[in-house]
Structure 1
Amino acid sequence: MTQLIRVEDLRVVAGDEGSEVEIVKGVSFSLEKGEVLALIGESGSGKTTIALALLGYARRGCRLSGGVVQVGEHDMLALSEKQLQGLRGNRVSYIAQSAAAAFNPAKKLIDQVVEGALIHGLGTRAELQAKAIGLFRDLALPNPERIGRRYPHQVSGGQLQRVMAAMALISDPLLVVLDEPTTALDVTTQIDVLRAFKRVVRERGATAVYVSHDLAVVAQMADQIVVLNGGQILEQSATAPLLKTPAHEYTRSLLAAARPDTTIRPPSGIAEDVPLLTISGLTAGYGNKNMQGMPAIRVLEDIDLTVRRGQAIGVIGESGSGKSTLARVVAGLLTPAIGGLTFDGQPLGGSLSERTPEQFRRIQMVFQNADTALNPMHSVATILSRPLKMYFGLKGAALQARIGELLDLVRLPRTLAERRPNELSGGQKQRVNLARALAAKPDLILCDEVTSALDTVVGAAILELLRDLRQQLGVSYLFISHDISTVRALCDDIVVMYSGHKVQAGSRQSFAEPPFHPYTDLLIHSVPELRQGWLESCGTTCATLPPIGERANVPELCTFLNRCPVRVDGLCNRTAPNRRTLDNGGEILCHHDSAQLLNTQQGVTTMTLGAYA
């Protein structure tokens, strides 16, 4: 083995000259050729700053102030900008977190994949296009010969992430930096992307640095792990011993935060047996409506749901399942085509104009991305004052006192009141986002993926805050997520959505062990475990089946038909499933009963048509 990467006493400072603050403090590590090293830590730990230093790059307002960064024979801190430009995208490549932001929407994928290699003179266009197609095939992209002709918006998020990996690998770089490449993906899509990344990295002998906040993810990829906090290395070890016996308390906290359902429990005895929100026969979508009033694109179909006062219901499913559309309907941002809503015993209009001011106040929404939900030009105090003035007419000392109370409620120091969102951390911004919703004193809060953009430690803290607020205020939640662990940590009941349909519903306890709807089983077994080798043994791939999310060709049949590993020809492809009750009290939309599902989900037998004759 040959040492390929050497980082020694790396230091990075931020701020203006004379008032600089050191944000990376003497970090050192090395990699052998073909190894994968993970940099892990919560937001602000310095992991991305260190990863970018491997490209000889520092973000605006930062400066590489000292140390050695050796990549092969190149000292990245001693090179000129022109020399660095010759290495970036050539000998050192970077895979960003957001593939959507990394591509030009006006250019075809194949042109963007080969562009950097063409600039560096690594081959002719024809040679590089052939190489790109080979990478598409290695990365398990569908129709590798043709997918490059598409534009970025014409492929899924997981596919675009793999195309970006092809862009990074086409130059056969000495080092590949992967910066949170699966954080924005659903758990089901994440598995496919991780498998593709791991196979290509191993087969091509690539050396890689993988940046993440999730130990369960890096456990599948990394040979060694560096744990960072505050710009310093707290622990460094091979992956297996670090997962088994972490030496530092901070590493142990990361391990605990990786699975919040093992450390956080929803409060008991809070929910009352009184319906707060009732949804009946709901169908909704987008586009022009036909003569029957049905939208051109149906996103939700025949949804029934009841949220009791003080109850937390989790809604899970991958992107495109309809869960965020359900929240938009409840919030009055999308008018349903069919069906009705009732709130606290009164009809709830489908649009905001049909609702009373009191109904508007009592249903609030907390959005996924606080960066776009909070006005960057306003201070925290101004953001919180708007609902207080609108709903309660507060002003003067009473207004300032209530702003202070709201900051106390979400556990933020009152000194943050005059700061703007860009001066806050991701977790602080999400707490302000929540405080704004609480300012209206709502009865129901719609939480749309409120922890998915946060690291595991901060996300776990937000979940604990939501649990405590529910205990303190008796507020109800409709909590939307794609992560079963997050939902089980907070909610009393869980609803599973697939392609606009409610395919399973039941208590949190009913989701603790089989039987499950086949799609629920897929979701649960797509959450990475904290052990090496899980990715190879999880068994959730159905390579011969269409991509997850693709609906059955016949809309009247089960929407999961094309993906279902236990579908029965002659039954599932001819007859629409009915809702049936499982032995654990849960409800599923499926032809199979508890015993039949248990047989497959516990690995006892394989389902055949004869079992249903």
Structure 2
Amino acid sequence: MSEALLQVAQLCVGHQQTVLIDHVSFELRKGDVLGVIGESGAGKSTLGLAVMGHYRGALRPLSGSITFQGQTYHPRDACRLATLQGKRVCYVAQSASAGFNPAFPLGSQVIEAACYHGVLTREAAQEKLLQLFALLGLPDPVQFARRYPHQVSGGQLQRAMTAMALCSSPDLIVFDEPTTALDVTTQLDVLAAIRHAVKQTRTAALYISHDIAVVSQIADSLLVLRHGKQIEYGRTADILRSAAHPYTRALLNTRHPAPLLVAEQHAPVLELRDLTVGYGNGQPVISQLSMTLPRGQTFALVGESGSGKSTLARTLAGLQKPQSGELTLEGKALSFDCQRRTAQQRWQIQYIYQNADTALNPRHRVRELIGRNIMRRSGLRGAALKARLSQLLEQVELAPELADRFPSQLSGGQKQRVAIARALAAEPEILICDEPTSALDPLVAQGVLALFRQLQQSAGLTLLFITHDIATVRSIAHSVAVMHRGKLVRQGLRETVLTPPFDDYTARLLQAEPTLEPGWLASALKVPSPEHPLSLQEILT
């Protein structure tokens, strides 16, 4: 058996009397993947950064040791361990938008670390860049390298960040939720590329995620964290077969949500006819699209990255002007420009963004972010405002004391829940949800979805729910539309859309839904993709 590349022994990380990582131990060998599972705020990202010698804010290693390639680093050696970053240890962040400078092309940023550390010459790095872009399924690698971050979709940006980490050929890569924001087909290709790269280059990987189905397909071993403590650790197959801890069993059970009963179709509250949207002089992103949102129900919109889902959502919210089309709200014409809508119409439609990092003002505390909507909508002040704020925080399972924190002091999942509470503070009738649970761990996501269902029953809330998680669609949606290249290729009641016979594209989406079945990743890759004549598996072999 090969020697361990990384060994972590009784590691504790924290600040003064607060311990965020509490006596965690594991080892990782070359070519292996360790999956780190846990709910939002469990300490997953803190642990991933700690093995790189990086500590955010006032956090410091308190005790324990980290051994990397035979060299042991104790708490006093954190600075020495940090010198390995970018060359022998690389990091793929959860939020790709925060990892790129908007002023420079993607290609120059992807090869920057490899050139800076002398791993590759610029010519060799540019050649490897094109190979990685092709491997990760990015379109026209040469042209893609010349684009700026704002000119590509969120899924494409995440794959570019994965290419950035692979470019230096590191010994260890820390993947921090790299596929959380990706659609299922893109996630499938990225997972296959990561697994192939790790096995072929003998690179070790720490794969952080809240989706145990995804991790189970790529990880050799699993480490389950909760409240900073290690509650389960072992081979993936053993844990999936017979999880010892109740929390792990609860995570496994979230992969089988109870389907929502199909309700009777109600009169439409929002109607869209013949919508065409484009940017500049390029091809339309959305072409001649028509749809209706039934009152008090959930309309799920699924499709891969770049299909136009978020553009459609922004257009309905009045944030993107279309080239043509008609929009009505409760039977009356509604302007596509939010500035020309009445105050009541603006309150009626609220938007929850996919990326909470860019949706929340970093200079405002949580109480200000949510309280502003409460005051403007309800006119509450003083004790009444504080009580309403606490109520909203509790609805999204956040402790009231978090009201005094800034977004930078919250985990990714906590920030997304703040964004949800802010939208609910406006007491909307229509909620446009752009991947609102993608950053949440499964148990918390279940609670948020239950909250949406409760709001529908009590207040008649209408949801446009954009997601790439088919399990979520089955759990919350009454109606479903499948979007591909700016058009709706299939729409109707959930049972109709998710029941065969399928068109090729819908079949591809459903086959790419992660499951806990052994070999799911390999079998899903055999399904022909309408986008690529050759599957990624054929390219890799």
TM-score under structure 1 normalisation? 0.77
Q: For the residues of structure 1 that align with 2:143 and 2:280, how far apart are their CA atoms?
A: 27
- In the alignment, which residue of structure 1 is the partner of 2:37? 40
| 1:53 Cα deviation after fit | 2.3
Match of 1:319 among 281, 295, 305: 305
Q: Provide closer, same or farther for how the CA distance between residues 508 and 351 of structure 1 changes in structure 2, counting only shifts above 3 A.
A: same
Contact 2:275–2:325 under 8 Å retained in 1 = yes
Residue 278 of structure 1: which of 258, 264, 271 is its match? Answer: 271
Query: CA offsets, 1:120-178, max 9 Å, x none?
Result: 4456555665666666666666667x579635547666565555445444554433322
Instruction: Tell me, yes or no, if structure 1 residue 349 matches structure 2 residue 335.
Output: yes
Tell me the secondary structure at the aligned position of residue 220 of structure 1. helix
Instruction: Quote the offset at 1:323 in angstroms.
Output: 1.9
Unpaired stretches in structure 2, ≥5 consecutive residues:
536-541
1:233 aligns with 2:230: yes
1:401-437 per-position Cα deviation (integer Å, ceiling 9, x unaligned): 5445545555555555555545555444444433333
The amino acid that maps onto 2:290 is D
Cα-to-partner distance string for 1:312-370 (whole Å, 9 max, x where unaligned): 11111122222222222322223443332222222222323443333233222222233
1:242 aligns with 2:266: no
The match for 1:220 is 217
Q: Distance in 2 between matches of 1:451 and 1:525?
A: 21
> What secondary structure sits across from 2:199 in the alignment?
helix
Which moved further from structure 2: 353-362 or 416-425? 416-425
Q: Does 1:301 align with 2:287?
A: yes
Cα RMSD for the two superposed structures: 3.4
Instruction: Compare CA radii of gyration and give the structure with the larger one.
Output: 1
1:66 corresponds in structure 2 to 63
Q: Secondary structure at the match of 1:325?
A: helix
User: Aligned partners of 2:125 and 2:266: how far apart in 1?
Assistant: 64
Provide the C-alpha distance between the structure 2 equivalents of 1:43 and 1:278, rounded to a whole number of angstroms: 37
Larger deviation: 158-167 or 454-463?
Answer: 158-167
1: distance between equivalents of 2:265 and 2:125?
A: 64
The 3-state SS of whatever aligns with 1:434 is: helix
Q: Distance in 2 between matches of 1:335 and 1:121?
A: 47
Question: In the alignment, is the contact (CA less than 8 A) between 1:11 and 1:23 conserved in 2?
Answer: no
1:180 counterpart = 2:177 = yes
Q: 1:143 to 1:481 in 2, by over 3 A?
A: closer
The answer (yes or no) to whether the contact 2:53–2:79 under 8 Å persists in 1 is no
| 1:13 counterpart residue number | 13
Q: 1:24 to 1:338 in 2, by over 3 A?
A: same
CA distance in 2, matches of 1:92, 1:45: 23
Q: For residue 501 of structure 1, report the CA deviation from its aligned partner.
A: 0.9
Deviates more, 1:234-243 or 1:113-122: 113-122
One-letter amino acid of the counterpart of residue 333, structure 2: P
Cα distance 1:396–1:118, how it changes in 2: closer, same or farther (>3 A)?
Answer: closer
Deviation for aligned residue 1:486: 1.6
Does residue 514 of structure 2 align to residue 518 of structure 1?
Answer: no
Q: How does 1:447-458 map to 2 (within 5 A)?
A: 447-458=433-444
Q: Give CA deviations for 1:88-115 in whole Å, capped at 9, x if unaligned.
A: 3333333333445434556666655555
1:445 corresponds, among 431, 453, 461, to: 431
Corresponding letter in the other structure for 2:294: R
For residue 67 of structure 1, report the CA deviation from its aligned partner: 1.3
Cα distance in 2 between the residues matched to 1:172 and 1:115:
13
The one-letter amino acid paired with 1:470 is: Q
CA contact (8 A) 1:138 1:200 kept: no
CA contact (8 A) 2:269 2:293 kept: yes
SS of residue in 2 equivalent to 1:489: helix
Moved more, 232-241 or 342-351: 342-351
Which residue is 1:577 aligned to? none
Counterpart amino acid of residue 457 in structure 1: L
Question: What is the match of residue 509 of structure 1?
Answer: 495
Question: Are 1:150 and 2:150 matched, yes or no?
Answer: no
What is the aligned partner in structure 2 of residue 332 from structure 1?
Answer: 318
How big is each residue's C-alpha offset from its partner over 1:1-57, in whole Å with a ceiling of 9 and x where there is no partner? Answer: 222235343333333xxx331111111112333322212212222222222222233
Moved more, 161-170 or 195-204: 161-170
Distance 1:110 1:356 in 2: 44
**CA distance 1:251–1:501, change in 2 (3 Å):** same
SS in 1 for 2:350: strand
Quote the offset at 1:466 in angstroms. 0.8
User: Structure 1 residues 408, 350: closer, same or farther in 2, change over 3 A?
Assistant: same
Match of 1:601 in 2: none
* Aligned-residue offset at 1:507: 1.1
Partner of 2:260: 266
Rounded Cα–Cα distance in structure 1 between residues aligned with 2:73 and 2:38: 24
Distance 1:78 1:420 in 2: 28
**1:273 and 1:309 in contact (8 A); partners too:** yes
Partner of 1:201: 198
**Displacement after TM superposition at 1:70 (Å):** 0.9
SS at match of 1:298: coil
Tell me if structure 2 keeps the 8 A contact 1:391–1:440. yes
Aligned match of 2:461 in 456, 475, 481? Answer: 475
Residue 490 (structure 1) shift:
0.7
Measure the CA separation in 2 of the matches of 1:299 and 1:182.
24
Q: SS where residue 248 of structure 2 aligns?
A: helix
Give the superposition deviation at 1:218.
1.5
Q: In structure 2, how many angstroms separate the alpha carbons of the residues matched to 1:408 and 1:170?
A: 44
Matched residues in 1 for 2:18 and 2:454: separation?
A: 36
CA–CA separation in structure 1 for the residues paired with 2:158 and 2:27: 27
- Secondary structure of 1:194's counterpart equals helix
CA offsets per residue over residues 173-202 of structure 1, 9 Å max, x none? Answer: 433322222223222111111111211221
Letter in 2 for 1:266: L
Indicate conservation of the 8 Å contact 1:9/1:25, yes or no. Answer: no
Which residue does 2:476 correspond to in 1?
A: 490
Residue from 86, 89, 110 that aligns with 1:92:
89
Tell me if structure 2 keeps the 8 A contact 1:140–1:196.
no
Q: Deviations over 1:573-604 (max 9, x none)?
A: xxxxxxxxxxxxxxxxxxxxxxxxxxxxxxxx
Q: CA deviation at 1:214?
A: 1.4
Deviation at 1:542, TM superposition (A): 4.4
Alignment of 1:60-139 (within 5 A): 60-77=57-74, 83-84=80-81, 86-104=83-101, 112=109, 115-122=112-119, 125=122
- Secondary structure class of the residue paired with 1:193: helix
Once the 2 structures are TM-superposed, how far is the Cα of residue 229 of structure 1 from its aligned partner? 1.1
Note the alpha carbon deviations across 1:446-495, whole angstroms, 9 max, x for none. 21221122232322221111112212222111111222222221110111
CA distance 1:507–1:20, change in 2 (3 Å):
same
What's the CA shift string for 1:252-311, capped at 9, x where partnerless? Answer: 122223x3xx32443665x663222222222233337xxxxxxx5522222222222211
Give the total of aligned pairs: 534
Unaligned runs of 5+ in 1: 289-295, 548-561, 565-613
